[in-house]
Amino acid sequence: MAYRSSDKTRRKKDAKRTAMMQAAVHVFAEKGYHAATIRDIVTAADVAIGTFYFYFPDKETLFVHLYEETAHFFLGALQQAVLSRRVLPEQIQAGLQAYVNIAIYEPAVVQLLLVGGVGSVPSLMEQHAAFRERLINIWQRPLNEALLHGQIPPQNSRRAAEALAGAFDEVILHLLNHPDPASEAAETITELTRFALRAIAYSESSK
């Protein structure tokens, strides 16, 4: 009986932490790091302010934890999508589909990772650099495979992946500003896939 009570208490604590993290994503995305307050977060999460301090000593610590967990979710979704396909056009398209889906259904996630308060939180710079590195690697891996099969001409796959990652981010941020992003999603994915294949001079015929 004591074990079940302890387990129930743990689940309730986990639920409160999850509620705070989910609320914080939206609060930071809407107000920005500096304008957002702890009171805003606990109000949105419907928890007591003491609950916040049970888990986090301050707003910055929460933001760093939030950024790390959000980045892990985002990168995992993209990587799984890319790895689910075998040929380069489908890998790029699948990765972009996952990216756009997150942008449309969880726009606060993309806002937090690409805009957020990274420049305002010095302690986050290392995590941000690691996030960008992993993101670039996700796009670079299929390029390296295509190079091995002679499907793209010799090129610096690292630089190509950096360029593609930056272009994708820019277009998807603009997509989020559209009055109805979902209506533009399919065309955006198609055009970005075509753009990427042109940029790296992809050819279906392998050597």
Q: Say which CATH number the domain at 45 has.
A: 1.10.10.60
Q: Are 63 and 121 in contact (CB under 8 A)?
A: yes
**35, 80: one domain:** no
In this model, does residue 5 exceed pLDDT 50? Answer: no
pLDDT of residue 2: 46
**64, 99: one domain:** yes
| Percent of the chain whose pLDDT exceeds 90 | 73
**81, 161: one domain:** yes
* Tokens matching residue 181: 């992003």
Query: Is pLDDT larger for residue 92 or for residue 126?
Result: 92
Query: Is pLDDT larger for residue 64 or for residue 119?
Result: 64
pLDDT of residue 6: 62
**193, 117: one domain:** yes
**110, 23: one domain:** no
Q: Are 25 and 102 in contact (CB under 8 A)?
A: no
**33, 66: one domain:** no
If you average pLDDT over every residue of the chain, what do you get? 90
Which whole number is the average pLDDT over 49-53?
94
Q: Which CATH number does the domain housing residue 205 bear?
A: 1.10.357.10
**79, 39: one domain:** no
Taking the C-alpha atoms of residue 146 and residue 148, their distance in angstroms, rounded to an integer, is 5
pTM over 0.85? The answer is yes
In this model, does residue 47 exceed pLDDT 70? Answer: yes
In this model, does residue 191 exceed pLDDT 60? Answer: yes
pLDDT of residue 8: 63
Which whole number is the average pLDDT over 190-194?
98
Query: Is pLDDT larger for residue 100 or for residue 33?
Result: 100
* Tokens matching residue 12: 């309730």
pLDDT of residue 118: 66
In this model, does residue 150 exceed pLDDT 90? Answer: yes
CA of 164: how far to CAs of 9, 26, 101, 119, in Å?
46, 27, 18, 22
Burial class (CB within 10 angstroms; exposed 0-12, middle 13-18, buried 19+) of 184: middle
pLDDT of residue 207: 46
State which residues form the domain around 108: 59-207
Domain count, the chain: 2
Backbone angles phi, psi at 99, to 5 degrees: -60, -50
Residue closest to 133 by CA, chosen among 66, 75, 199: 75
**108, 158: one domain:** yes
**37, 102: one domain:** no
pLDDT of residue 171: 97
pLDDT of residue 48: 92
Residue count of the chain, please give it. Answer: 207
**50, 74: one domain:** no
Q: Are 13 and 31 in contact (CB under 8 A)?
A: no
Dihedral angle over CA of 96, 31, 21, 167, nearest 10: 20
**93, 175: one domain:** yes
Ramachandran quadrant class, 48 (left: phi over 0; alpha: psi -120 to 50; beta: rest):
beta
**25, 116: one domain:** no
Instruction: Provide the CB-side half-sphere exposure for 8 (13 A, CA).
Output: 5
